[in-house]
Amino acid sequence: MASIRRTLSPYHDRTYQNGEDPYSPKLFPSSKYSSPLQDFAARFRRFLGYPPRKGQHGWRRAFYRCLFFFFLGFLLGLVPFGHVDGDDIRAQSHDFFEIKPPLLNVHQKDLVLAHQREASDDRVLVGEVSLGERVRSDLVPRKQLIVVTPTYDRALQAYFLNRLGQVLRLVPPPLLWIVVETKAASMETAEILRKTGVMYRHLVCAHNSTNVKDRGVHQRNTALDHIERHRLDGIVYFADDDNIYSLDLFHSLREISRFGTWPVAMVEQSKNKAILEGPVCNGSQIVGWHTNEKSKRLRRFHVDMSGFAFNSTILWDPKRWRRPTPVPIRQLDTVKEGFQETTFIQQVVEDESQMEGIPPSCSRIINWHLHMEARHIAYPRHWLLQKNLDVVLPIN
């Protein structure tokens, strides 16, 4: 029996039209016939942005690429690549600012001088620390000063207000300047107040009085009404515009807790001599009074109107100061001239034990009452003179 045996396929040696092998990868594009390295290379080329083939969406590949690099950068940012010690940074900073002197031959005497310099540097550093503590103590809020000034139309009004305004401008804030006029608030006074740069309130007294004594009393009472109604917290001081004040006075006012007083240098109405009116102090304690006028020896407290100041809460918080009566504290226009001060003070304090003398021991004069008022000089009409003042003076 005959048998036929095939060892090779009859089609193995057959050639095709294009001359390619039937088992060529080009004829079988499936992945199982392609190399994994070639497949990865092709995908990576497409990922790097080479033009896609027809029918593929390029925007998706760009979106996925951006998303991949975003997460890659985020993960790399979380990886700790090293550790920096704070002590090393401080050491490097000291080395950066350190100035190294050149090497010299140093003798024993020079070493002693160097040690002395180091000791002096240490003392300077201790001083700086104490200064820093002092600066921190200055951060305590300052007490507000409430300066009350009655004013009225007269020849030297602008001069007096400008002078007082320039002094108050130098006082550290907070400071409130309450200026009270009669009849109406004049534009000239308002302009002066705006130019001073001081925080102010321009009030008008409703009482129309021609008497100088009553006019000042009502103007101050108008300011007291305003302070009580708005519950302003601070140290109230009656500062007439014709007096002279030092900056030390306003610095000392902030040391007052309830009621403070000090001596005032005055010139008599006749301007023949100067007198001193105010307290005699032992430290901050009131032990007596200065007075030279016989007509005023009947007063309980010998103080000028510009020689005392008090806490504003006494006006609107009687329970805090244990006042026996809630009657408003005001100046009286029914008493004789020269007694307004003592009758007002008797409403604020009971005796000298509730007073404080400033400055310590009342050792300095910090304001002056000179009576420089020119009462018989009136304003020129419309701020102009009727006659021509041009005068030709011969030169000798």
Cβ burial 356-379 (10 Å sphere, 16+ → b, else e): bbbbeebeebbbbbeeeeeeeeee
Beta bridge partners of 150: 180
Q: Tokens 């990868």: give the residue.
A: 25
Tally of CA atoms within 13 A in the half-sphere of 155 that contains its CB? 10
Beta bridge partners of 279: 289
Pick the closest to residue 209 from 201, 200, 218 (CA basis).
Answer: 218
First to last CA, the chain: 172
Cite the annotated binding site for Mn(2+) by residue number. 242
Q: Are 305 and 238 in contact (CB under 8 A)?
A: yes
Contacts of 234 (CB under 8 A, 6+ apart): 143, 144, 145, 146, 174, 176, 311, 312
Tally of CA atoms within 13 A in the half-sphere of 203 that contains its CB? 23
Number of H helices, E strands in the chain: 11, 12
For the chain, how are helix, strand and coil distributed in percent, rounded to 5? 40, 15, 45
Task: Classify 301 as helix, strand or coil.
Answer: coil
> CA-CA distance, 22 to 150, in Å (whole number)?
120
> CA-CA distance, 41 to 197, in Å (whole number)?
80
Q: Are 239 and 147 in contact (CB under 8 A)?
A: yes
Q: Tokens 């005959």: give the residue.
A: 2
Which residues are marked as active site? 341
Cite the annotated binding site by residue number. 242
DSSP 48: T
Q: In what order do the strands lie in the sheet with 367-369?
A: 244-245, 367-369, 264-267, 274-282, 285-290
Q: What single letter denotes the amino acid at residue 212?
A: V
> CA-CA distance, 104 to 114, in Å (whole number)?
13
